[in-house]
């Protein structure tokens, strides 16, 4: 144990002495969350919206004028059929379409209730979410201003593109960033730090010393596990305080899932360090084998359902996919463990598999 402590101590000295490592560990996560957050906030400006008006009366005209006058919405098109909506979405001409039912003013005045449908492009969930609340608010204000008894406009929302029907992923950037950063810190940094010892020749001395291989492995991984947890917590806090990303479910479950993912990433880092002989190779494998898939195939940036079938299959072996799905359930839907046990078990299974392979491959001697 004393030996192990000495080893840990040394590892922390390495980390705290290296400015670059410290930046990657502490500054980059914060910046990444802030940048993602602000980029998403700034996207809503003059969103293009089309109108499909089956009524064409005074009231709908007034509502369209009000919507067009609103800051962030621009009515760019008037449509005449549902088919045209689909076509406009596909041509990327509009982000949303508003459908007024026929006899709008009449129904509002006599039946006291009328339907307004918003059709949204849900592949851009952040924007869709915002447009939804904007349009609803404008319509409701308008109804209140008319002040005809209890008359109201029923706003119904219909997302398109099939994916992401509940639009909760406006805040996906927090889980996504977390997956990415935990992957960078744990897999990339830990594998590089192990390979560095091989390169410097110090691994030779460690292998000849009474330190057990398992102590070397854990001594190398433990500091990064601790630092990643700190990072995970700070990302959640920043997301919540700065951007209002909620944590609806249990914080303890959230931490537990993060911990499972960190373990998985560490076991991947260990595997990379076994294969790589130089820091460059470790970096290369981590970048292309771990980080890019985490970003592109996990559902973080591109919705999995929109991917070609082959990529959808590949996404099944991307650990971050399960992590994201679990995080989403906990943070944004407030679901408990009974809903995410599948994701957790898959991550744990992956961890065990990677560690198994690594330990089998860890060389207590030098390569021959």
361: contact with another protein by CB under 8 A: no
Half-sphere exposure of residue 60: CA atoms within 13 angstroms, side-chain side: 22
For residues 5 and 41, which CB has a smaller minimum distance to another protein in the complex?
5
Minimum separation from the CB atom of position 356 to another protein (A):
23
User: Does residue 286 contact residue 189 with C-beta atoms inside 8 Å?
Assistant: no
**Range in contact with another protein (rule: CB under 8 A) among 10-18, 40-48, 257-265, 311-319:** 10-18
Of the ranges 9-17, 36-44, 130-138, 253-261, which one interacts with another protein (CB under 8 A)?
9-17
Toward another protein, which CB reaches closer, 111 or 204?
Answer: 204
**Rounded distance between C-alpha atoms, residue 140 and residue 179, angstroms:** 39
The one among 17, 20, 45, 360 contacting another protein by CB under 8 A? 17
Query: For the chain, what's the residue count?
Result: 368
Name residues contacting another protein, limited to 168-207 (CB under 8 A).
Answer: 200-202, 204-207
On whether the CB atoms of residues 269 and 190 are closer than 8 A, the answer is: yes
20 binds another protein (CB under 8 A): no
Listed in order, strand segments (DSSP E) in the chain are: 47-53, 73-79, 96-100, 113-121, 152-160
The number of CA neighbours under 13 Å toward the Cβ of 242 is 19
Q: Candidates 110-118, 124-132, 209-217, 338-346: pick the segment binding another protein (CB under 8 A).
A: 209-217
Q: Which is nearer to another protein, 193 or 294 (CB)?
A: 193
CA 194 to chain centre: 29
Q: Does 280 bind another protein (CB under 8 A)?
A: no
Is residue 210 part of the contact set for another protein (CB under 8 A)?
A: yes
Residue 118 β-bridge partners = 98, 157
Q: Are 117 and 158 in contact (CB under 8 A)?
A: yes
Which chain residues interact with another protein by CB under 8 A? 2-3, 5-7, 9-10, 13-14, 17-18, 200-202, 204-211, 364-366, 368
């Amino acid at each position: 144990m004393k030996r192990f402590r000495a080893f840990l101590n040394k590892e922390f000295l390495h980390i705290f002495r290296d400015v670059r490592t410290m930046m990657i560990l502490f500054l980059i996560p914060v910046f990444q969350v802030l940048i993602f957050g602000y980029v998403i906030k700034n996207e809503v400006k003059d969103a293009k919206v089309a109108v499909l008006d089956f009524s064409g009366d005074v009231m709908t005209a007034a509502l369209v004028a009000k919507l067009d006058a609103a800051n962030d919405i621009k009515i760019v098109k008037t449509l005449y059929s549902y088919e045209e909506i689909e076509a406009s979405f596909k041509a990327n001409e509009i982000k949303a379409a508003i459908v007024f039912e026929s006899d709008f003013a009449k129904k509002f005045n006599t039946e006291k209730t009328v339907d307004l449908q918003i059709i949204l492009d849900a592949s851009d969930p952040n924007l869709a979410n915002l447009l939804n609340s904007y349009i609803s608010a404008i319509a409701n204000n308008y109804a209140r201003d008319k002040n005809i008894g209890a008359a109201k406009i029923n706003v119904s929302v219909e997302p398109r593109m099939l994916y992401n029907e509940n639009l909760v992923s406006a805040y996906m950037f927090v889980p996504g960033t977390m997956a990415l950063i935990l992957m960078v810190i744990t897999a990339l940094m830990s594998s590089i730090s192990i390979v560095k010892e091989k390169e410097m020749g110090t691994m030779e001395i460690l292998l000849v010393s009474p330190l057990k291989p398992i102590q070397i492995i854990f001594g190398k991984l433990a500091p990064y596990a601790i630092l990643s947890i700190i990072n995970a917590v700070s990302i959640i806090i920043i997301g919540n305080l700065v951007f209002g990303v909620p944590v609806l479910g249990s914080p303890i479950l959230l931490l537990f899932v993060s911990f499972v993912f960190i373990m998985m990433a560490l076991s991947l880092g260990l595997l990379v360090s076994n294969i790589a002989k130089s820091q460059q190779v470790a970096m290369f494998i981590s970048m292309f084998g771990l980080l890019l898939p985490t970003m592109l195939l996990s559902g973080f940036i591109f919705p999995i359902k929109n991917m070609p079938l082959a990529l959808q299959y590949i996404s099944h072996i991307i650990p971050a996919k399960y992590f994201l799905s679990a995080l989403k359930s906990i943070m944004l839907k407030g679901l408990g463990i009974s809903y995410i046990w599948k994701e957790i078990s898959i991550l744990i299974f992956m961890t065990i598999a990677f560690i198994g392979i690594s330990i089998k491959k860890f060389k207590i001697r030098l390569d021959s």
